[in-house]
Structure 1
Amino acid sequence: MDVSDQTSPDGADAVPLSVRAAASWSWRLLLIAAAVAGFLWLLAALKTIVVPVAIALLVTILLAPARRTLERWHLRRGLATAVSIVGLIVLVGALVTLAGRSIVAGFQDLADQAVAGFQQFTTWLAEGPLSLDAEQLSRYGQQLQESVVASSGLVSGALGAATTVGHVLVGALIALFCTIFFLLDGRTIWTWLVNLLPVRAREPVHQAGRRGLVTLSAYVRTQILVAFVDAVGIGVGSAFFVPALALPIGILVFIGSFVPIIGAIVTGAIATAVVLVANGWVAALIMLGIVLLVQQAESHILQPFLMGHAVSLHPVAVVLVVAAGSLAAGIVGALFAVPLAAVLNTILLYLHGHDKFPELGTEDHLPLLRRRPQLPGTLLWSGRGASQDAAQDGTQATTAGDTGAAPGSPATEAGDR
């Protein structure tokens, strides 16, 4: 028999199996990478909408326990939602006002100390090894000022600032609007989204989403506790050196701690710099020691026991995820990188048969859409927790009563989808 008869017409047998497997994997990976890049590009293009919605989701998880508590006190859900949101706004406003007053009260002293420190520095430049006279220092300062003004572009900077303020206001309104409806009717919104999927995929996605929400809830609550510990430790430490600015420093540390690793480093450096300006090198070194002590206690005690259990991510994974998020989307990417990675980790594990929360069970079925017989073609919500009774060939689905999550179940405690 001719050897050419044993080969396929296209010559595929001439290519080693390893090369064909590598080629198959390569084009699939390239396709996945292209899809991910397109998705990230779309998120960046819609960041004015995406970021407020993500913030609204985090705030909803934070306020859900308060809303449920108010409902137990026999308040209607709408009123409980309004009280929870207004209470959060009042609390944040009070903290900002208190911090602002502290900054105003201590700013003049800090400014005087900064001026005195700068004068000492210029004196050292004039009398030290460099021997720069006052005229040279003035000329160098003038050149630096002119270069900064020329490179900054004041007109474009003002226009950019106005645009940023407009985006912030629009984002705040979107976040507030979404938070209201997430708290008021989050389960209905989730039901509508999942029912857009094919019938076979709805229940697995619903169960995976429940577990992702539990992970996100654990992350938010744990991060608040960790941020509070950091803020109290560094704020109390700074109170020994700059009492007037201790509260603003504590609030700054609390906010910065929501960006893992990077936020703690930046806010700790700011606290040390403030003490350096106010009290000199010795006090700054002591403050640096306090910052390192608090952060080490958080990293080696709180993070392993609390955050590790909440997100189930190795510290190396956290560092890489934060770095990737900051490179892709700046401070916003660093803020949302870890919770997004934790939720995706939980969802993917569940879809591949590794349930991190087996105690949740599957008794909380996805509410489906039902049709009213007298109005053919009209879709109505089936109510809280209606279960699937029949679904044939992905075209029909009916409901059989109300079998939603019982009060106090893990799904309900996770945020009442």
Structure 2
Amino acid sequence: MSNPDEGRSRAAVIGDGIEWVSRWSFRWVGIALGAVLVGLIVKFAWSIILPVALALIITSVLAPLAGFFERRLRFPTALSAGAALLTAIGAIVGTAFALAPSIGGQTSDIASDTLKGIERVQKWVQESDIVSKAQIDTALQAIQDRLASSSGDIANGVLVATGAVTSAVITLIVSLILTFLFLKDGRKFIPWASGIAGDRVGRHLTEVLSRAWATLGGFIRTQALVSFIDAVFIGIGLVLVGVPLAIPLAVLTFFGGFIPIVGAFVVGAVAVLVALVSVGWNGALIVLLVILAVQQLEGNVLSPWLQSKSMNLHAAVVLLSVALGSTLFGIIGAFLAVPVVAVTAVVLRYLNEQASVAVGSPSSPDQRIEISTGEGAALEVDDDTTAETTDETAGETAGAPARSKPGLFSRLRKS
């Protein structure tokens, strides 16, 4: 076989290589600029994107319940959506009311233990040689001076906190309204988007959106399982140590598990404080060790492993996505990072499948790619890249060969 570069000068070969690198570098720069533009759009439209994202997550949890009301109880669509949403709100409120008597019955004991704990700490500080009374007085005076000099900053901080609480309440209300609308009319979105995209792209869009929706539901179920396991282990530890309010704290741990970083920290701090004022330093230390062990198990083993299984993501990808999301958007970013990366991975996998079909080399010899058309038909592509659709073959004569379909990229080029 002859060498195509034979007879060419060395400068020409190097120039071709530089030209190839330049073209691809320019393309990657364009992709990077596009990513920056998307980031700016997300930043300025965050007040709209956040409630929509939260509503989609809540909808993925309540959709099976709404479907149960509609199929089994024959409720109308709007009534099924409203019943599912009200059932969820009622379950949360009912849980709070169920735990209220146990919390109220032990409040006086906790308050008494808290006062005793404070007196114990004061006595220990006074009797020990670690901190002298003069040092305590100096520290208190420094705190007072700091508070006096920072009164303006504190007032601004209170205003900012008040604004954040107001924004959170508005976001929650908007998210609940959107959840009702998504439960009622969400099933119409994929057919509508497929119709807008046209016949060539609509089938692919339908399949990608269906896979993304299934992946999102898997994330929520996995996160609920992880939070439940945390609540069980921490609750067992609290019961064994003899900490009061063990069950309410375990329930709080379950809900706190849905808020990355801060949720676990706040719930753990509350449990340790309750243990400190109720059973003393030894019990508080044991509770702290139990919480740290469970959180390390969750953060480094359980959550990455389960999420990587349910969403087909590597554990390292899950950890890095949470770190990046928390850096860019804080707590909400950490919570939304994993589902966003999972949906992105769904799109990339589908594009890879279609690219393999287009070049006639699926990733495995036995690979078959099934594309849902959203109308009861399915497009199956085997290792010979032969495509068949039940809708298209319905009108063909018996024994007629199926028509071969080009891949996604060739379709986009033709369109």
* TM-score, normalised with respect to structure 2: 0.74
In structure 2, the residue matched to 1:216 is: 216
> Are 1:185 and 2:194 matched, yes or no?
no
> Are 1:290 and 2:299 matched, yes or no?
no
Q: Deviations over 1:140-169 (max 9, x none)?
A: 213214414643624323322332233223
In structure 1, the residue matched to 2:371 is: 362
Equivalent positions of 1:180-329 (< 5 A) are 180-197=180-197, 199-241=199-241, 243-259=243-259, 263-264=263-264, 267-268=267-268, 270-291=270-291, 294-295=294-295, 303=303, 306-329=306-329
Code of the aligned partner of 1:191: P
Partners of 2:373 and 2:198 in 1: CA distance: 19
Q: 1:147 to 1:260 in 2, by over 3 A?
A: closer
Code of the aligned partner of 1:192: W
State the SS of the aligned residue for 2:371: coil
Code of the aligned partner of 2:79: L
Partners of 2:373 and 2:31 in 1: CA distance: 33
In structure 1, the residue matched to 2:67 is: 68
> Are 1:26 and 2:25 matched, yes or no?
yes
In structure 1, the residue matched to 2:129 is: 129
Partners of 2:305 and 2:131 in 1: CA distance: 56
Partners of 2:347 and 2:272 in 1: CA distance: 41
Partners of 2:22 and 2:150 in 1: CA distance: 49
In structure 2, the residue matched to 1:40 is: 39
> Are 1:52 and 2:51 matched, yes or no?
yes
In structure 1, the residue matched to 2:79 is: 79
State the SS of the aligned residue for 1:258: coil
Q: Deviations over 1:317-372 (max 9, x none)?
A: 2111111010010000011111111121122101210899x999434437xxxxxx
In structure 1, the residue matched to 2:358 is: none
In structure 1, the residue matched to 2:401 is: none
Q: Which runs of 5+ in 1 are unaligned?
A: 1-5, 367-384, 388-399, 404-417
Partners of 1:286 and 1:131 in 2: CA distance: 26
Once the two structures are TM-superposed, the CA of residue 310 in structure 1 deviates from its matched residue by: 0.8
Partners of 1:324 and 1:159 in 2: CA distance: 29
Q: Which runs of 5+ in 2 are unaligned?
A: 1-7, 355-361, 379-390, 395-415
State the SS of the aligned residue for 2:274: helix
In structure 2, the residue matched to 1:158 is: 158
Partners of 2:16 and 2:330 in 1: CA distance: 43
Contact 1:204/1:351 (8 A) holds in 2: no
Partners of 1:118 and 1:21 in 2: CA distance: 72
Once the two structures are TM-superposed, the CA of residue 62 in structure 1 deviates from its matched residue by: 0.8
State the SS of the aligned residue for 2:353: coil
Code of the aligned partner of 1:343: V
Partners of 1:283 and 1:160 in 2: CA distance: 38
Code of the aligned partner of 1:95: T
State the SS of the aligned residue for 1:352: helix
Code of the aligned partner of 1:59: I
Contact 2:66/2:84 (8 A) holds in 1: yes
Partners of 1:273 and 1:131 in 2: CA distance: 22
Q: Higher relative CO (CA 8 A, sep ≥ 6), structure 1 or 2? A: 1
Deviates most, 174-183 or 254-263:
254-263
Q: Deviations over 1:266-308 (max 9, x none)?
A: 6445433432343233212332443356457767986577433
Q: 1:105 to 1:228 in 2, by over 3 A?
A: same
Partners of 1:160 and 1:131 in 2: CA distance: 36
Percent identity over the alignment is: 32
